[in-house]
Amino acid sequence: MPGKIKAFLASPKGKDSLLTFLTEGLSMLGMVLTYRLAADLSKQDLDLYVIVRRTVNFVFPVILMGAMVGLTRFVAMSHEPARQRGYLRGALYWVLPLGALCVALFTLFARPLAWVLFGSVESAGLVPPLGAMITGIALHGVAYGYLRGKPASVTANFVQLAVLALVPCGAFLLWQDMEAVLWATGIGWIAVPVLSILPSLLARQGMKMRKERSELLRYGLPRVPGDIALGALLTVPGYVALRTHGLDVSGEVGFGATLLGLAAAVFSPVALLLLPAASGRLAVGDHAGLEKSIARMTWMVVAISVLLTLGFELLAYPLLVIYLGADTGPAYVPMARIIFLGALPFAFFNGMRSVLDAYFHTPRNGVNLMAAFGILLLGSFFHLLVPTPWYTMGVVLVAAMYWLGWATWRDVRYVRSELRRLAARDPGQLRLVVLIPDKEEGSTYAASKAQAQAFAQRGCEVTLFHLESRSSLSKLWAARRRFKRLLREQRPDAVHVHFGSVAALFGIMASNVPVVVTFMGDDLDRTGVHGIARPWMGGLFSQVSAFFASGIICSDEGVREHLWWRQGEAVVLPLGKDGAGSIPETLAFLREVGLHRNKEEAAG
């Protein structure tokens, strides 16, 4: 055993893991020191700083648009440096202007935002630097995600340490005024990531970045609501407590949420290392190896989370007195003990979320986070409407965290079962659900049914799903339940939808596996469609489906030309009147998308 550990640490992967864990440990210590330095100023300054940091975590996902996880994933799966830089430039295409807009809005509306965030317009001077901090942390997400995916581990870890620890601690050591501290932190957070990616930005472009930008947006946009929900879970309780019990309780709730974040940060190296590794293993088809790694990681995360929770609950008073001082620490102990009960599920979520990001094309973490945020909102409304004790928001936050942890556990178990199934079958075997917008006995889409039969004759496992109504909301909802049940039973690798409009959007919204849409006829060109709302609504549904689809097939070049985006990625594969056109090519494309393969590996 010691020999295996020594060999692992001597390997490049082992050195990377060791450096990443060391960096995250130092970063966490830096974050801990930052709050202690704020407490040394005064309890009010600590309360204000807690709200500032929680607000940063709440707002920056709107600017980042899921680019951090997307960059790590796509850069890790790409082997061409020019394309990797294309992903970086693609992310900055929206992060930079949105960041500038954030700074402008926080400067123009400083007074009303100060009242909302801090309960008083007297704190308006803190709002403009808060905008700079939000922009800086978004740029850090871009730089860190890109460097992690390359991989450039040493640079990535330095950026992480500088942004999370060195810059904020240095700001408190050099200035005693909170406004100056926030400005210094915001400027540092912008400068460090920009300097780290400057060589890549100055390198010759050599290729357009439209495709990379499109891929990042398709992957990241559906995850934005979940990212916002994650920030809101740890921030909204403080805002609610501010309205019901004042700044003191708000700061205590926010500090308790910060402790949750610190506990979850213990597993940040796991998530950072697991996402590119899992994406890479999926790309090469190493399902058995990935399943074993996830199993080991699951039990390790659970065990450490339990120990963290028990340790803090037993030692909360002396720890916080030592940490915040004898004058300030005791005030935070009761709320911190309540909220830290949520450390077990939240740490598990943070440690294992990369598994779901790597496996699912749909934002599975986002769905779970939105549901947890819904639980939090219900509790918050109750607390605002009905007089309840000071600790209410802490209890509500813990309840939301336990739901999130359970949902993550459920989904990780599903992924492991899928990986075991994929490992046990032939590497090239494909299981499809073909969605056809017709009755089972209908003949309108006979060519689509014939194509599905041809797939089956070539060894593909095919199940047909008939979407019989596309205009009745009640029938569509019933069809959604049937479709979800079919996906659970069949566990397909991909869904192939014929054709655009309602059928395509239905498949995109209901499926948790990759969706490939075949467009033809008037799916995209609606000039010949009669009616007032039907032409533009159907066309809009088709274009939205094309944006979020995992793969696009067009029946001819004329259809592809009407795509608003992703024309370069769409493949032209004629269906033919009898469904016999391009059978081998279509099946190969579906296999490439459904089995997480790139073109070279799919061909091999």
Sorting pLDDT into bands at 50, 70 and 90, what band is 207?
low
Amino acid at 545: S
Q: What is the pLDDT of residue 603?
A: 41
Backbone φ and ψ for 582, nearest 5 degrees, come out as: 55, 40
pLDDT tens profile 508-547:
888 878 889 888 877 776 676 666 666 777 778 888 888 7
The fold adopted by the segment(s) 431-603 is Rossmann fold (3.40.50)
88 close to 265: Cβ distance less than 8 angstroms: no
Q: Where are the extended beta strands (E) located within 204-314?
A: none
**Tokens, residue 479:** 């069809």
Sorting pLDDT into bands at 50, 70 and 90, what band is 10?
low
Q: What is the pLDDT of residue 454?
A: 86
**Tokens, residue 60:** 């920056």
Would you say residue 341 has pLDDT above 90?
Answer: yes
Q: What is the pLDDT of residue 294?
A: 82
Give the 3-state secondary structure of 335-378.
HHHHHHCCHHHHHHHHHHHHHHHHHCCCCHHHHHHHHHHHHHHH
Q: What is the mean pLDDT of residues 120-149?
A: 93
Q: Which residue has the higher pLDDT, 310 or 491?
A: 310
Q: What is the pLDDT of residue 602?
A: 42
Sorting pLDDT into bands at 50, 70 and 90, what band is 407?
very high
Lowest mean pLDDT among 54-68, 94-108, 341-355, 529-543: 529-543
334 close to 391: Cβ distance less than 8 angstroms: yes
Let me know the angle formed at the C-alpha of 581 by 445 and 554, rounded to the nearest 5 degrees: 75
Q: What is the mean pLDDT of residues 405-416?
A: 89
Q: What crossing angle do the helices spanning 12-41 and 167-174 adopt, rounded to 10°?
A: 30
> How distant is the alpha carbon of residue 481 from its chain centre?
26
> How distant is the alpha carbon of residue 169 from its chain centre?
28
Would you say residue 17 has pLDDT above 80?
Answer: no
Would you say residue 314 has pLDDT above 60?
Answer: yes
123 close to 55: Cβ distance less than 8 angstroms: no
Helix, strand, coil share of the chain (percent; to 5): 75, 5, 20
Amino acid at 373: F
Q: What is the pLDDT of residue 601?
A: 42
Q: What is the pLDDT of residue 204?
A: 76
pLDDT-above-70 percentage for the chain = 89
* Beta carbons within 8 Å of 553's beta carbon, 6+ residues apart: 516, 517, 518, 519, 570, 571, 572, 573, 586, 589
Q: What is the pLDDT of residue 100?
A: 96
pLDDT tens profile 541-592:
888 888 778 888 888 888 888 787 777 778 888 877 776 777 888 888 888 8
Q: Kindly tell me the burial class for residue 214, based on how many C-beta atoms sit within 10 Å of its own C-beta (0-12, 13-18, 19 or more).
A: middle
User: What are the residue ranges of CATH 3.40.50.2000 in the chain?
Assistant: 431-603
399 close to 412: Cβ distance less than 8 angstroms: no
Q: What is the pLDDT of residue 129?
A: 97
Sorting pLDDT into bands at 50, 70 and 90, what band is 200?
confident
| DSSP state letter for 495 | E
Sorting pLDDT into bands at 50, 70 and 90, what band is 206?
low
Q: Which residue has the higher pLDDT, 177 or 226?
A: 177
Q: What is the pLDDT of residue 2?
A: 56
Using alpha carbons, list the distances in angstroms from residue 13 to 20, 351, 359: 10, 19, 21
Half-sphere CA count of 101, side-chain side, radius 13 A: 10
Sorting pLDDT into bands at 50, 70 and 90, what band is 277?
low
Q: What is the pLDDT of residue 16?
A: 67
Say how far apart CA 134 and CA 450 lie, in whole Å: 54
Say how far apart CA 580 and CA 564 lie, in whole Å: 28
524 close to 562: Cβ distance less than 8 angstroms: yes
Q: What is the pLDDT of residue 376?
A: 94
